[in-house]
């Protein structure tokens, strides 16, 4: 039976790793060893002590956040883009797909629920191809496979242009805590990258427009067709680690979806999930930690020190 502990900020930890650095509101610890975890009050006490220690050791000097609570920090912090940096899917990508379909008079509209199902397929071009293969191709679509690839590529290019307009107008804000965690990483010499199945131009627009040019200059982007196989394949995360010159085991990934989590774990990386609108009910039992967001103080869920503690494996298991 799972042991549930009630405290103050939402988090869920896997059965393999028990965090002692954040004070969770509802923590599920499946298959708990009763000799190690004798009571919920004991766990709550441990979490509360660690949480205070972490915050006291996080400071800001000259506008730079420093973090010294963990003796080990990640070598690289790797973010997914859509749903992690920005909750883009429902009111961003979906709208841009539908506007593109309308412009091309395809007679296709993806409603909220349908798009949620389509998100199980990584990549916009792959998503459209799978959809049309299942329900039938529009009458004005080409008939040969090669022509259809070009047709899909054209649709995706236009969809990306429309999506970038939304980003440039800043109609889709960053999720809470994103700037904070990136600033902590950059301020402590931790490499930062964004690894996404989305088009590289769209991801670059999000990073430069919403995070600003100074941060963007220090963030590497791995996106779109940079790898032949998209998430849940680990290729994009392995490419990032290789390019950054870091061992996958020293990386912490922030994801929001099951396919992203699968990619990170297959790459041998620690993965924190921050649920997004479309992924709240997905199964994240394989994640190292699960939160509703990163969060800014006073509602902060986790910080860079917590990421270091995950790598140090400071848990009861």
pLDDT one-digit tens code per residue, 15-35? 333 333 333 333 333 332 322
Instruction: Using DSSP, state whether 297 is helix, strand or coil.
Output: coil
Nearest CA-CA partner of 68 in 314, 309, 315: 309
Is 80 considered catalytic here?
yes
CB 182 within 8 A of CB 215: yes
pLDDT one-digit tens code per residue, 59-85? 444 444 444 455 689 999 999 999 999
pLDDT one-digit tens code per residue, 88-123? 999 999 999 999 999 999 999 999 999 999 999 999
Q: Across the strands, what pairs with 9?
A: 24
CB 48 within 8 A of CB 287: no
pLDDT category of residue 312 using cuts at 50, 70 and 90: confident
> Where does CATH 1.10.150.240 sit in the chain?
89-169
> Where does CATH 3.40.50.1000 sit in the chain?
76-87+173-311
| Dihedral, CA of residue 71, residue 75, residue 79 and residue 85, to nearest 10 | 60
Q: Which listed residue (47, 82, 183, 256) is catalytic?
A: 82
Is 91 considered catalytic here?
no
Least confident of 14-23, 196-205, 233-242: 14-23
The CATH number that domain 89-169 falls under is 1.10.150.240
For residue 284, pLDDT over 90 is answered with: yes
For residue 301, pLDDT over 90 is answered with: yes
Q: What fold is seen in the domain 76-87+173-311?
A: Rossmann fold (3.40.50)
CB 7 within 8 A of CB 24: yes
- pLDDT at residue 137, rounded to an integer: 96
CB 274 within 8 A of CB 175: yes
d(CA 292, CA 314): 22
CB 261 within 8 A of CB 287: yes
User: What's this model's pTM, rounded to 2 decimal places?
Assistant: 0.74
- pLDDT at residue 70, rounded to an integer: 53
Q: Which listed residue (47, 80, 183, 233) is catalytic?
A: 80
């Amino acid at each position: 039976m799972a042991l549930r502990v009630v405290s103050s900020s939402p988090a869920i930890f896997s059965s393999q790793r028990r965090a002692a650095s954040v004070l969770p509101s509802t923590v599920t610890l499946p298959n708990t060893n009763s000799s190690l975890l004798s009571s919920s009050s004991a766990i709550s006490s441990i979490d509360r002590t660690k949480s205070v220690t972490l915050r006291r050791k996080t400071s800001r000097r000259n506008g730079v956040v420093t973090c010294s609570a963990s003796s080990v920090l990640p070598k690289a912090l790797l973010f997914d883009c859509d749903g992690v940096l920005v909750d883009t899917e429902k009111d961003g990508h979906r709208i841009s797909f539908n506007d593109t379909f309308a412009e091309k008079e395809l007679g296709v509209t993806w409603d909220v629920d349908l798009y949620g199902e389509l998100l199980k397929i990584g990549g916009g071009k792959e998503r459209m191809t799978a959809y049309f293969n299942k329900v039938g191709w529009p009458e004005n679509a080409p008939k040969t496979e090669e022509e259809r690839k070009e047709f899909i590529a054209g649709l995706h290019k236009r969809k990306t242009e429309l999506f970038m307009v939304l980003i440039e107008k800043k109609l889709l804000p960053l999720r809470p805590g994103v700037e904070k965690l990136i600033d902590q990483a950059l301020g402590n010499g931790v490499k930062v990258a964004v690894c996404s199945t989305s088009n590289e131009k769209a991801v670059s627009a999000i990073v430069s427009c919403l995070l600003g040019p100074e941060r963007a200059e220090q963030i590497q982007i791995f996106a779109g067709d940079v790898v032949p196989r998209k998430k849940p394949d680990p290729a994009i995360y392995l490419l990032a680690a290789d390019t950054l010159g870091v061992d996958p085991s020293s990386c912490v990934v922030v994801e929001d979806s099951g396919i992203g989590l699968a990619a990170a774990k297959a790459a041998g990386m620690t993965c924190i999930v921050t649920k997004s609108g479309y992924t709240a009910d997905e199964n994240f039992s394989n994640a190292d930690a699960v939160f509703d967001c990163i969060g800014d103080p006073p509602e902060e869920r986790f910080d860079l020190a917590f990421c270091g503690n995950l790598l140090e494996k400071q848990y009861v298991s």
